[in-house]
Structure 1
Amino acid sequence: MAGTALWARSVSRVAVVDVIWGPGFVLVALVSAVVGSSNADTSWRPWLLFVLVAIWGGRLFWHIRRRAVGHGEDPRYREMLGDPEDDRSAWFAAAVRKVFLVQGAAMWFISLPLQVAAVSETDWWPVVVIGVLLWLVGVVFESVGDAQLTAYKERPKQERPPVMDQGLWRYTRHPNYFGDACVWWGLWLAAGLASGWLPGLLTVLSPAAMTYFLVFATGARLLERSMMKRDGYPGYAERTSFFFPLPPKGS
């Protein structure tokens, strides 16, 4: 995050932190796997977790970077921090305090199950299997949802409906955020709970915190404030589940 902050300062754009979010977890998972490889009883699971996080983080990095190329600052960060041209030093200090320190702490806290798995034996391997299956559901929702939205945006404006309500978006207004939550609950199962009831209990707040960010803090709720101003979106919101996939109302 310190390196990302310096990068953001050089380009006057805090949104680069979103590009680094996924790879940051990949780095944590890699370090955890290296640490865990010294213990024969734990060596296989940290590397499995590293592969899972690398697939998730690599896809997220590719998707956000492609979306960010050629665009300016994210409006959320501009509203939070103001224009760097007004007072560059004050802007950077606020960015470090409100964005980079917060996201660095969040990354450490959310990745606690990965760190615990590196130094813990696998007590319940069936839970690892369940966790991998839930992770897979999450990756499918996240990647397919993003791909469907990208395809919708690439269609000529006059040929597409005013609101994306097809595919997974017919059942939830935020399939990508729902998928992200499933990924981290799956990783908690495979890394935290599979290590035993005590490690699972001590790390359950990690996926809960990620879900909170996705739903309330920086994710779905925040996005909905601007989306509700678009033509057709209030009606879409009335018939479509907010987060968990459900059949549309009236279908």
Structure 2
Amino acid sequence: MAADRDTYRVGGSLASASRATGFTLVTLAYVAAFLAAAAVVAAMRVGHPLTVAFLADVIATFVVFAASVAVANASLYDPYWSVAPPVIAAGWVLWSTGGDLGAATGRQWAVLLLILTWAIRLTANWAVSWRGLSHEDWRYVQLREERPPGVPWWLINLAGIQMMPTLVVFAGLLAVWPAVSVTGRPWGGLLDIAAVVVTGGAILLEALADRQLHRFAGDPANRGRIVDVGLWRYSRHPNYLGEILFWWGLWLFALAAAPDWWWTVAGPVAMVLLFVFVSVPMMDRRSEARRPGYARHRRRVPALLPRRPRER
């Protein structure tokens, strides 16, 4: 195991490849994943769309995992979080309308366009920050270095980095199914309005938080400092808060379309658990190790829900 840790090289033999080459390989991996998912859909034409989408989602994840192993970079999975949802949602809308998007309802269009907007922004955000095959997310590096003895890296990569997020995101998408497939309730009620406001507001919140963070980090004068400007003054992770609210907004669409599907609240709840118990603690531990005074910052500023910081 120690030898495995010492010899692993992110990017493997392609570590020195150009950034353009890295993006080309990512694109090819995702095309292969899409084709594999399409093959599943074609082979299960009589299956329930939820079941078909789930199996196609899992198979596509396996394809991306295989590609990440081939190039020794788990970050090949990172855009999957935002690429898969619009594809799945579009597939469900097409199934519901018999392939005629002209027959789509206002609610179907609202859900689809909001998911697409969220996906384009989040995927672009990843593309800007990913430097190529030699660059792997710091969380994956940490997981690889701190994994228990005897546990192979490929297993953590598959189960923890790739399959677990796929399952959590699919849980979040459960609410999208009734939102785009149940069309008996009229569009435009209070719940629909609330859903648009929460989902759209979440996208704006996440985008503003990311922009403020990038501007702060891009200023050499802020090197080593704790970001505490704009939204970050009132919440340690406003970008995570935006992501969580996005999935709650999609659940409101499900309530508006089909109240009997209230149990799909399991999706946004899973998102809350993921961020509260995994993402936030990992980011806070890293910040404490890298930035003096972050422990004091944690006591002053809440993790997610914004409020005025406590007095120093």
Structure 1 length normalisation: TM-score? 0.87
Partner residue of 1:135 out of 192, 199, 202: 199
Instruction: State the SS of the aligned residue for 1:15.
Output: helix
Q: Take 2:299 and 2:155, find their aligned partners in 1: how far apart are those partners? A: 41
Instruction: State the SS of the aligned residue for 1:7.
Output: helix
Partner residue of 1:60 out of 122, 126, 132: 122
The higher radius of gyration belongs to 2
Q: Take 1:189 and 1:174, find their aligned partners in 2: how far apart are those partners? A: 23
Instruction: State the SS of the aligned residue for 2:309.
Output: coil
Q: Take 1:232 and 1:122, find their aligned partners in 2: how far apart are those partners? A: 55
Match of 1:213 in 2: 274
Partner residue of 1:11 out of 56, 68, 71: 71
Answering whether residue 80 of structure 2 is matched by residue 80 of structure 1, we say no
243 and 80 in structure 1: CA distance in 2 versus 1, 3 angstrom threshold: same
Structure 2: gaps spanning 5 or more residues = 1-60
Instruction: State the SS of the aligned residue for 2:185.
Output: coil
Match of 2:260 in 1: 198
- The number of aligned residues is 242
Match of 2:94 in 1: 34
Question: Could you tell me which amino acid in structure 1 is paired with residue 119 of structure 2?
Answer: G
Structure 1: gaps spanning 5 or more residues = none
Question: Would the aligned equivalents of 2:82 and 2:123 in 1 still touch at CA under 8 Å?
Answer: yes
> Aligned ranges for residues 105-116 of structure 1 at < 5 Å?
105-116=167-178
Q: Take 2:191 and 2:82, find their aligned partners in 1: how far apart are those partners? A: 24
> Aligned ranges for residues 136-215 of structure 1 at < 5 Å?
136-156=200-220, 158=221, 162-190=225-253, 192-199=254-261, 201-215=262-276
Q: Take 1:82 and 1:249, find their aligned partners in 2: how far apart are those partners? A: 36
Question: Would the aligned equivalents of 2:110 and 2:196 in 1 still touch at CA under 8 Å?
Answer: no
Question: Would the aligned equivalents of 2:216 and 2:222 in 1 still touch at CA under 8 Å?
Answer: no
Instruction: State the SS of the aligned residue for 2:78.
Output: helix
Instruction: State the SS of the aligned residue for 1:25.
Output: helix
Instruction: State the SS of the aligned residue for 1:128.
Output: helix
C-alpha offsets along residues 178-227 of structure 1, whole Å, 9 cap, x if unaligned?
1111111111101x11123211x22111111112112222x212211111
C-alpha offsets along residues 87-145 of structure 1, whole Å, 9 cap, x if unaligned?
9xx53344223333222222222100111223212537320110110112211210010
Question: Could you tell me which amino acid in structure 1 is paired with residue 79 of structure 2?
Answer: V
Question: Would the aligned equivalents of 1:174 and 1:242 in 2 still touch at CA under 8 Å?
Answer: yes
Match of 1:248 in 2: 309
Question: Could you tell me which amino acid in structure 1 is paired with residue 74 of structure 2?
Answer: V
Structure 2 length normalisation: TM-score? 0.71
